[in-house]
Structure 1
Amino acid sequence: MSEAPAVVGEADLHAHSTVSDGTEAPAVLMAQAAAAGLWGVALTDHDSTSGWAEAAAAVPETGVVLIPGMELSTREGFMSVHMLGYLVDPLDEALLAETTRIRESRVTRAEEIVRRIGRDYDLSWDDVLAQTTEGTTIGRPHIADALVARGFVTTRSAAFAGILHPRSGYAQPHYAPDPLTGVRLIRAAGGVPVLAHPGTRGAERVIPPERLARLTDAGLFGLEVDHPENRDDAKRRLRGLARRFGLAVTGSSDYHGTGKPNRLGECRTASEVVERIIAEGRGSAPVTP
C-alpha cells in the first residue's frame, strides 16, 4: 500500500465486482471508474476483500485511486442493514471470522432458496454456480441471474420484484451480526464505518435517532445519503440527522455493472470527506497511481 494521497477530486465510495454481486471483474471496474472521470473509487464487495489485489494492480494503468473497502452485512431484527467499511485490515482476525461466517450462511441460505424455487421452477444449484466465478460471495443476485438465464424472468430486477421477493415465500434471511457489532468490528479492524443507503424505505423508515446515537457512540463515521435508491424525503431527514450527530455525508452509486441500473459515478463523495476517511483509516491505505 502506498502513502495517503492528497485528495484532488471526488470519489464513488460504493461499487461491487464479480467477487460479490457485480458483473465486472475488479480490474474492469477500475477501468470503468477512469472512464467515468473519477479521482477515486471504493471497491466494497459484500463481506469480502478478495478483489482488492486485482483492483490494486489496475491502478497504475487506470490512474484511479483505489480505496479498499467492503460492505459488511448486519441485521436489525428482520431488517437487513448494510455497513460500509473503508480501509479495514483485511487480516483482522475478528472481522475475518465474522465475514467467513456470513459468507457461509449466505451459501446455505442460497441453497435453501434454490431448493424451494426448484419445487415450482426448473432451477438447480448448478444453474446458480454457472453465474459465479471462483471466490464469489454467493447471494440472491446470482439466483436472480440464474432465473434470467433459464428464461423465467427478463432481468435481475424483475427476479427481485417477483420470484425473489419476500412475499413469494422462497426467500429467507442469512446470518449477520447486529449493526452495533458491525460498527465495532470495522473500527477494531482500523476501518471507517458508514451506514449504507439508509433511506431506501423513505423518511418514516429512516433509522431512529436513539439507535443512530448508539452507532455514533460506537464509532460510526457517516451516512450514505446521496445514493440513487434513497428517497428524497429520506435524504432530507438523513441530512438533519447527520448535522445533529456530527456525522459525515457521503455519496455513492452502489454500482453493480449490468446487475443494477445505477451508473458508476452518478453519486459522489466530496473530496474533503474522502480526505477525512483516509485520515481516519488505520487498517489499510489507498492505492495510488
Structure 2
Amino acid sequence: MRIDLHTHSTASDGTDTPAELVRNAAAAGLDVIALTDHDTTRGHAEAIAALQDLDRDLTLVTGAELSCRLDGISLHLLAYLFDPDEPELLHERELVRDDRVPRARTMVRKLQELGVPITWEQVTRIAGDASLGRPHVATALVELGVVETVSDAFTPEWLADGGRAYAEKHELDPFEAIRLVKAAGGVSVFAHPQAVKRGRVVPESAIARLSAAGLDGIEVDHLDHDAPTRARLRGLAAELGLLPTGSSDYHGSRKSVELGACTTDPEIYGEITRRASGAFPVPGAGGRG
C-alpha cells in the first residue's frame, strides 16, 4: 500500500489542478493521497469529484498545510481530516489567505528595488486562480532568468525567511494551531521539521514542547531530509511518542519531485485515521482505503 500524505494543487502553489492531481496519483500507483494545500481546503470538492472517474482504487485524505511561526522561525503544520467548517480554524485560515496579496505585493516591490524587472501582472498571471504565495514570485524569478529553479529563489539572497526580498505574513502560533486542529477533530503533523535548506528550523526541544501540547506526528521521510536527519527524527519520534510520516510534498512541475517519492507506513496511516473525527478518508472507485 503506497501512501503519500503531503501534496499541493492549483488551489495553492501546485501546478496540477485538484482533479489532475488525483488522476496523476492514481497513474503513479498510489493507494492513498492527502491534498494539503496551504491554508485552504478550496481544492477538496474537485478532488473528491475526480475520484469517481478513476479506473483504479484511490483514497483521498483531506487536509491543509497551516502556516505557523515560533520564536521568529517559520514552520508548517500538516492538518488532516479536520472539519473544514469549524469556525475558529476557518477564521484563522482566512486571515492567512487575506494576507497573501499584500505580502506578495511587498515582495515584488522589494525585488524591484533590488533591480529585478518583475511586475505584479507577471506574478498574478503565474498564480492564476490560486492563492498567491512565495512560489509564484519564485516562478517569476525563474522566468526572468534571475535564478535557475524555484528552489534557488528560496535563499537569503532572495525569498528565504529573512532574505532580501522576504516579507512577513500572518502566521499561526503552532501551539494554538494544534489546539484548533484538535478541536476541529483533526490530526496534526509537523511538516519537514529539519528542512535546513529553506532557512532556520526550530530546535528539537521545541518539537518536544509541541508534542506535549498535542502534536500527533512529524514528517520524517521527506526529500529535504538527508539519511542522518531522517534517522535522528525517527529516533526523536519514538522518544516523544510521535507518528513518523513520509511524503513527497509534491507541487507538480514547480518542483522536480515525483508523487510517492516518500511514503507513509500503512500502520501509521491507520493510526492517523483512527485519531481523526472531523472528517474521514474518501474512497474512490473501488472503495479501498
**TM-score, structure 1 normalization:** 0.90
**Long gaps (5+) in structure 1:** 1-8
Deviation at 1:208, TM superposition (A): 3.9
Deviation at 1:129, TM superposition (A): 0.6
Deviation at 1:103, TM superposition (A): 1.5
| Equivalent pair of 1:27/1:55 in contact (CA under 8 Å) | yes
Question: Please, which of 257, 260, 265 is the counterpart of residue 270 of structure 1?
Answer: 265
Deviation at 1:217, TM superposition (A): 2.6
Deviation at 1:143, TM superposition (A): 0.7
Which sits farther off after the overlay, 82-91 or 206-215?
A: 206-215
| Equivalent pair of 1:10/1:274 in contact (CA under 8 Å) | no
Measured in 1, the distance between the counterparts of 2:209 and 2:192 equals 18
Deviation at 1:243, TM superposition (A): 0.9
Measured in 1, the distance between the counterparts of 2:162 and 2:82 equals 36
Measured in 2, the distance between the counterparts of 1:106 and 1:139 equals 6
- Number of equivalent positions: 278
Find out whether 1:84 has 2:78 as its counterpart.
yes
Aligned to 1:235: 230
Which sits farther off after the overlay, 91-100 or 158-167?
A: 158-167
Q: Deviations over 1:80-123 (max 9, x none)?
A: 11000000111111111111111222222111011111231222
Aligned to 1:18: 10
Measured in 2, the distance between the counterparts of 1:45 and 1:200 equals 18
**Long gaps (5+) in structure 2:** 285-289
Question: What does 1:188-267 align with in structure 2 at a 5 Å threshold?
Answer: 188-201=183-196, 207-267=202-262
Find out whether 1:285 has 2:280 as its counterpart.
yes
| Equivalent pair of 1:52/1:68 in contact (CA under 8 Å) | yes
Question: What does 1:1-289 align with in structure 2 at a 5 Å threshold?
Answer: 9-62=1-54, 63-119=57-113, 120-134=115-129, 136-161=130-155, 162-165=157-160, 169-201=164-196, 207-289=202-284
Measured in 1, the distance between the counterparts of 2:161 and 2:238 equals 35
Letter in 1 for 2:126: Q
Identity of aligned residues (%): 45
Measured in 1, the distance between the counterparts of 2:204 and 2:153 equals 34
**TM-score, structure 2 normalization:** 0.90
| Equivalent pair of 2:2/2:260 in contact (CA under 8 Å) | no
Which sits farther off after the overlay, 221-230 or 97-106?
A: 97-106
CA RMSD of aligned residues (A): 1.8
